A and B are shown apart, each in its own frame.
Chain A
Amino acid sequence: MFKKNALRAATALSLVTAGSVSAETLTIAIVNNGHMINMQTVAEAYTKETGVELNWVSLEEGVLREQVTSDTATGGGQYDIINIGMQEAPIWGAAGWIEPLNFSADYDVDDILPAMRNGLSHEGQLYAAPFYGESSMVMYRKDLMDAAGVSITDNDSWDNVKAAAAAIHDPANGVYGACLRGKPGWGDNMAFITTVVNSFGGAWFDADMRPVLDSAEWNAAINFYVDLLGNYGPPGSEGNSFNEILALYNEGKCGMWIDATIAASFLEVDGVAYAQSPNAGNPVGANWLWAWAMAIPAGSPNADAAADFIEWATSKEYVKAVGNHAEYGWGSVPTGQRASTYAIPEFQAAAGFAAAELAAIESAAPGATDLKPYVGVQFAAIPEFPEVGSAVAQEMAAALSGAKSVEDALAASQKAADSIMKEAGYYD
Chain B
Amino acid sequence: MTTDGPPSAQEHPLLHMFRRKNVLSGLMFIAIAAFGLWVSRNYPIGTTLRMGTGYVPRLLCWLLMGLGAIVLVQGVLETEPPRPPRERSPDDDELAKLRPVVAVTVSLIAFALALETLGLVLSILVLVAIARFATRELKASETLAAAVGLSVLTWAIFIAGLGLPIPLWPDW
A binds B: no
Contacts from B to A (Cβ < 8 Å) = none
Residues of A within 8 A of B (CB): none
